[in-house]
Amino acid sequence: MAEGVIGSFARERERLNELVMHYADLTVKRFYGLDSQAYRDGALSRKTKELLGLVASLVLRCDDCVKYHIVQCEGQGASAAELVEALAVGLVVGGSITIPHLRRAVEAWDELQSASRQD
């Protein structure tokens, strides 16, 4: 079966994160640690935090970040309706300039859903 957008993204991300760690100074390493910490369960659930990260990524229009948080939202059990409502907030806040990223967000989500159905 052909590798989808999620699979190729995940492999490339892992390969390049290793390269970043090879060159990283302490500031970069600590930033990576902080980036994990921010999404841990707390007063807000990790699912809610991943939705926050998703909307932030959509309005800042970063496809890789959107894809990453789509995978995390799916892993935390977000439903399609929850995902779309979060993306809709991002669309209204960020405007039509986010639409190309919204399209690719939905494509990634749809690919994850198809993969689940095939399991």
How many residues of this chain bind its own copies (CB under 8 A)? 66
* Binding residue (CB under 8 A) for its own copies from 59, 70, 71, 73: 59
8 A C-beta contact, residue 65 and residue 53: yes
Residue window 16-55: x/- pattern of binding to its own copies, with contact defined by CB under 8 A: xx-xx-xxxxxxx-xx--xx-xxx--xxx---xx-xxx-x
Residue 89's Cβ-count burial label (10 Å; 0-12, 13-18, 19+) is middle
* Binding residue (CB under 8 A) for its own copies from 5, 10, 84, 115: 84
CB of 119 to its own copies, least distance (A): 20
112 binds its own copies (CB under 8 A): no
Residue 43's Cβ-count burial label (10 Å; 0-12, 13-18, 19+) is exposed
